[in-house]
Amino acid sequence: MHAASEQPTPLLTGDGSHSLCDSRTGETYHSSFGAVQESQHIFIEQGLRFLPKKEITILEVGFGTGLNAWLSLLEGRNSGLTIHYHSLEKYPLSPELTNQLNYSGPTDRDLFRLLHSCAWNREVAITPDFHLTKTECDFTQYKADRMFDCIYFDAFSPDRQPEMWTEERFRHLAGHCNNQAVITTYCSKGDVRRAMIAAGFEVEKLQGPPGKRHILRGIKK
Ligand SMILES: C[S@@+](CC[C@H](N)C(=O)[O-])C[C@H]1O[C@@H](n2cnc3c(N)ncnc32)[C@H](O)[C@@H]1O
């Protein structure tokens, strides 16, 4: 976990939802135009909804605030999906911080908090149809032990963490993707796109959420 002095600072984004500012990198966890708006567009609409399946195994790089897991749980509930959600995080957040996040309404607050309070490094049924496995690890050392249908690539930017965005790392992920699996990320840099293509994804540039011109989506063929 972050040392107390290194805990990120909460902030409000343009759509009224919270994000965090990381003291180590100076980066925010989400777009200042809107955290929920951004995550919903990139990971739910262009990622999860793109899949024709009803039982889906997701890998997320960077659990952070749990926002992508939360939006996936809501999407699964609305669309009748069974989701196996695996998320990697090197710097888990403190409960004092995650309890402040405003992503759920009063009726769902306990469910959102369960995403954070549940045990690490083992599978937990958050609901009968949403199974969460949070793994505390460094993605640069991560060795996948299963196949995925969908990858949410939500690391800090390649300028700050180039070691997360290498062809070798994307190749490892591609090797654990089912045919037609989808990977989405907010980053549309040429170097990242080329690394994803070299690793075996067919990559397209899609329109981004407000404040961001493009995002990337790769399909494993
Ligand atoms: C852009 S934030 C997004 C987090 C999350 N998806 C969210 O919506 O809040 C990037 C996340 O990657 C985590 N991270 C940074 N370096 C990492 C590493 N080497 N391995 C795993 N996670 C890492 C950070 O702690 C942070 O939670």
Q: Is 156 in the pocket of ligand 1 (CB under 6 A)?
A: yes
The DSSP annotation for the chain comes to: ---GGGPPEEEE-TTS-EEEE-TTT--BSS-TT-HHHHHIIIIIITTGGG---SEEEEEEE--TTSHHHHHHHHHHHHHT-EEEEEEEESSPPPHHHHTT---S-GGGHHHHHHHHHSPSSSEEEEETTEEEEEEES-GGG----S-EEEEEE-PSPTTT-GGGS-HHHHHHHHTTEEEEEEEEES---HHHHHHHHHHTEEEEEEE-STT-SEEEEEEE-
Is residue 24 a part of any domain in this protein?
Answer: no
pLDDT digits (tens, 9 = 90+) for 97-109: 999 999 999 999 9
Is residue 207 a part of any domain in this protein?
Answer: yes
Q: Is 2 in the pocket of ligand 1 (CB under 6 A)?
A: no
pLDDT digits (tens, 9 = 90+) for 51-98: 999 999 999 999 999 999 999 999 999 999 999 999 999 999 999 999
What is the domain-level CATH number for residue 59? 3.40.50.150
Is residue 99 a part of any domain in this protein?
Answer: yes
CA of 21 to the centre of ligand 1 (A): 12
Q: What is the mean pLDDT of the chain?
A: 96
Is residue 28 a part of any domain in this protein?
Answer: no
Q: Which atom of ligand 1 is nearest to the CA of 161?
A: 16
Is residue 77 a part of any domain in this protein?
Answer: yes
Tell me the pTM: 0.97
Is residue 1 a part of any domain in this protein?
Answer: no
Total of domains in the chain: 1
Q: Which atom of ligand 1 is nearest to the CA of 91?
A: 25
Is residue 125 a part of any domain in this protein?
Answer: yes
Is residue 145 a part of any domain in this protein?
Answer: yes
Q: Which residue range is the domain that position 52 belongs to?
A: 33-220
